[in-house]
Structure 1
């Protein structure tokens, strides 16, 4: 499967196994912009898979209401760039509902899917990675898959989680990422990172499509005689502090990379924790390789992204410190 097929398969399984599961969003009934919901309306009916008005605030307000009375809403925001009108609903309602109600009410069965990140031609309104805004808000789970298997397993875990969960799907991977995916129903644990390549000299940390760039960096570093360990964080909230610190204690060096702008990006949280709890094991300061602090460009996307060569420069810096 490619990644959009794996997501489609996950939603089909969720709708089949839970008769209170509903899927909705802008153009979802027609298959969605990225074809993730193809054929689901035909299979489950227009009462369970349907289009909404062009109102992100309305989509999320409706989804929170459904979840609070026992339904399992899977709400799609067509592009992550357009989640901001719904920011209040997510941060002030979904994330706080259980706490303010003393656990008598909650919307824990809520899942919010949204395509995010660079796609090669998206420009400033279709390329953003806004995950850091939501990691600052207690009460939300946040996951980011790097490929089809992770997309299926994390999405099924999100749908069945007792907490509201945001799933950021790197849109460039919908068709690019292809692999064998288990056809059975399975979940990947939320909050668990994966070491996708072991190494001894430098720890590289990323999520989503950035993991593939880090693997390319590791290949380049090997030619320089440097062994890189690559970690796919998979979940940003909660995130796997133990896996990260265990790796950094082994390598003594850490490079974090993400597409979002550097200032207040989630890499800052990782760097602060590593330097707080792993300081005595560090051989060099933690480095962050990120998008620049500008709106996302159209013509110069490759100059904006943390490419393998930009990350390799950081690897050279920490190994020569």
Structure 2
């Protein structure tokens, strides 16, 4: 079957629609997901197709509706809870951290919480500090959660399916700045494995390890580097908790160098953990120190030139790789 060209937004919507068609217990709940069609038009048209019982507009209270989603999951249905932007995800942190993430442990293994929470994250195209930021590390710190990142269109289509099958709470990070980005995916693309990282590009000279928005940037940088005779491997972590360390350790063992890229602030981010594990598990395989390339530690600015300067761009990745290989 041939590939289809689709936007990231359309891929996310297709994933939700597939889930609703597959299982009657699945429903979507969140602010403006129904009549308005979603803050980013991801759920546009689904209310008309599936009705208000399955596309549910909720009051403007993240603490309230995330708590309701936890209760619904405990009652045997399968809620997809949409949190409009990552900044709003701090409001239901009590429900997420002290309830969803702990109930399995605190019940002695008797109670699972099969809840899926979708969160729009990353740079929001001049939405400034109110509606931007990459706070994946905050959630990846919490035992009891599965935390995944949708860095490609294929995963945007297939990751939700797998998340809904998981017995534990899954946090899915989606990326606002990618919504209009087009890419080709197989027309019959199936579910995404949310337990394994993915090699997006094979290479032998250096491992570029990233996730989310960083995936396409790293791939573009790798293509530019190939014109200079540098063969970079690109690893999409995909699952941020629990990390698939086997995949990135194997890659670093092959290439002997690593550049870690993400938009989250550099201090105590996902790359910090990946770097530590490389040092613990593959130190003697390294031909150069591990390099991290993260976001500048400021609230995301509004002016476009400052917004772009606050997170790694393709040129930054390219220059960092060249500096590692040709100091």
* Structure 2 length-normalised TM: 0.94
Cα distance in structure 2, aligned partners of 1:320 and 1:277? 25
Equivalent of residue 121 in structure 1, options 122, 126, 140: 126
Q: Which residue of 2 aligns with 1:111?
A: 116
The correspondence for 2:96, drawn from 66, 78, 90, is 90
Pairs within 5 Å for 1:148-163 = 148-163=153-168
The answer to whether structure 1 residue 226 and structure 2 residue 230 are counterparts is yes
Question: Where do residues 1-321 of structure 1 align in structure 2 (5 Å cutoff)?
Answer: 1-30=6-35, 31-107=37-113, 109-183=114-188, 186-299=190-303, 300-320=306-326
> Mean alpha-carbon deviation: is it higher for 25-34 or for 172-181?
172-181
Unaligned 5+ runs, structure 2: 1-5
Q: Any idea what SS the aligned residue of 2:293 has?
A: strand
2:152–2:216 Cα contact (<8 Å) kept: no
Cα distance per residue 1:88-136 (max 9 Å; x no partner): 11111101111101122221x2000011111321211111111100111
CA distance in 2, matches of 1:3, 1:318: 32
Preserved CA contact (<8 Å) 2:112 2:167: no
Q: Distance in 1 between matches of 2:186 and 2:126?
A: 28
Alignment check: 8 A CA contact 1:147 1:177 kept: no
Task: State the Cα distance separating 1:294 from its structure 2 match.
Answer: 1.2
- Provide the rounded CA distance (Å) in 2 between the counterparts of 1:104 and 1:243: 32
**Separation in 1 of the partners of 2:252 and 2:191?**
27
Instruction: Give the Cα separation in 2 of the matches to 1:175 and 1:49.
Output: 23
Q: Is the 8 A contact 2:211 2:236 kept in 1?
A: yes
Q: Hey, what's the Cα distance between the residues in 2 that align with 1:193 and 1:234?
A: 5
Report the Cα offset of residue 281 of structure 1: 0.2
Q: Give the CA RMSD over aligned residues.
A: 1.4
Query: 1:171 & 1:177 partners in 2: Cα distance?
Result: 13
* Bigger Cα displacement from structure 2, 3-12 vs 67-76: 3-12
Cα displacement (A) at 1:220: 2.7
- The number of residues matched between the two structures is 319
Alignment partners' CA distance in 2, 1:174 and 1:159? 22
Measure the CA separation in 1 of the matches of 2:199 and 2:230. Answer: 17
Q: Which of 88-97 and 6-15 deviates more? A: 6-15
After superposition, the C-alpha distances for 1:237-290 in whole angstroms (9 at most, x for unaligned) are 122211101110011000000001100111100000011100000011100001
For residue 4 of structure 1, report the CA deviation from its aligned partner. Answer: 1.7
Say which SS state the counterpart of residue 298 (structure 2) adopts. Answer: coil
- The whole-number CA distance in structure 1 between the counterparts of 2:69 and 2:248 is 34
Give structure 1 stretches of 5+ with no counterpart: none
Cα drift, residue 183 of structure 1: 4.8
Aligned residues of 1:149 and 1:182 also touching (Cα < 8 A): no
SS in 2 for 1:200: coil
Deviation readout 1:124-159 (Å, 9 max, x if unpaired):
111111110011101111111122211111111111
Which runs of 4 or more aligned residues in structure 1 lie more than 6 Å from their structure 2 counterparts after TM superposition? none
Deviation at 1:223, TM superposition (A): 3.2
Distance in 2 between residues matched to 1:120 and 1:50, nearest whole Å: 27
